[in-house]
């Protein structure tokens, strides 16, 4: 019985923990929504504190490095697999770079494995966007070469080491008109709250099942003992 109570307590604690995670993410979503409506902040060469400025609008001024553009393949937009296009931007009057997630490009229907040409303006440009985490890592059975243009994943630290540059540890998710032909219809950040609620439901359901089993077996044991006692008195 004691073991059953310990299991029930553990399952209930796990359910409460998942609810706490969901509530934390709800608060985080509200904080993100409030940051998205803040006025843009200039991105300085030393960078910004990511924890305090994640998803905040920023203005990055600098020069593109189109020869270092990378294409992340198998990225979906409205059910169509295409490419995320990323180009590093050297911040003005500095040796600091930031990777810009410029947008999504659809595949060429005649040559879907070829990267689409993306025009990149020369000179100093102003890039409007928001601070975002590095692109999520997709399952891959082989490691991308450090200098690959077409790739499955991108590790910012590996990219910086390969090109011998100082690269900020986050990206700028670009906004604005898509004169370069890219799609910038960015979805809202998925914090996974529904996953936490699903796990909480599972833990509480298992807890309720264990309570039911404990009550059933305890009741059956007590009834057997009662009948045995009555038989002994008879």
The answer on pLDDT for 175 being more than 80 is: yes
pLDDT digits over 199-217, tens only? 878 888 888 888 888 787 7
Domain ranges of the chain: 12-42+194-229, 43-174
What the block records as the tokens of 146 is 């450090």
d(Cα 15, Cα 58) in Å, to the nearest integer?
38
With tokens 């990206």, the residue in question is: 171
Q: Output the CA–CA distances (angstroms, integers) from residue 107 to 56, 112, 158, in the order listed.
A: 30, 5, 26
Q: Give the 3-state secondary structure of residue 101.
A: strand
Name the CA radius of gyration of the chain, rounded. 27
User: Rounded to two decimals, what is the model's pTM?
Assistant: 0.73
The answer on pLDDT for 25 being more than 80 is: no
Average pLDDT score over the chain? 85
Q: Tell me which of 175 and 110 has the higher pLDDT.
A: 175
Cβ within 8 Å of residue 113, ≥6 positions away:
107, 150
28-47: average pLDDT: 81
State the pLDDT confidence band at 219, using cuts at 50, 70 and 90: confident
Cβ within 8 Å of residue 32, ≥6 positions away:
54, 55, 189
**Tell me, what's the pLDDT at 48?**
95
């Amino acid at each position: 019985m004691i073991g059953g109570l310990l299991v029930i307590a553990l399952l209930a604690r796990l359910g409460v923990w998942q609810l706490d995670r969901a509530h934390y993410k709800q608060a985080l979503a509200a904080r993100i929504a409030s940051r998205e409506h803040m006025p843009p902040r200039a991105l300085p060469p030393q960078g910004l504190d990511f924890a305090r400025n994640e998803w905040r609008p920023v203005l990055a001024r600098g020069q593109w490095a189109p020869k270092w553009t990378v294409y992340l393949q198998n990225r979906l937009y409205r059910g169509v697999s295409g490419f995320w296009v990323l180009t590093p931007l050297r911040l003005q009057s500095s040796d600091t770079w930031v990777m810009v997630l410029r947008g999504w490009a659809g595949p060429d229907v005649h040559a879907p494995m070829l990267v689409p040409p993306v025009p990149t303006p020369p000179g100093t440009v102003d890039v409007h966007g928001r601070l975002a985490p590095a692109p999520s890592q997709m399952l891959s059975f082989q490691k991308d070469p450090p200098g690959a243009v077409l790739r499955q994943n991108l590790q910012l630290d590996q990219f910086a080491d390969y090109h011998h540059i100082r690269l900020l540890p986050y990206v700028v998710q670009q906004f604005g008109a898509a004169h370069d032909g890219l799609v910038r219809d960015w979805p809202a950040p998925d914090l996974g709250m529904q996953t936490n609620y699903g796990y909480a439901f599972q833990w509480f359901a298992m807890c309720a099942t264990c309570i039911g089993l404990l009550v059933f077996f305890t009741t059956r044991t007590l009834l057997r003992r009662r009948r045995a006692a009555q038989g002994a008195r008879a």
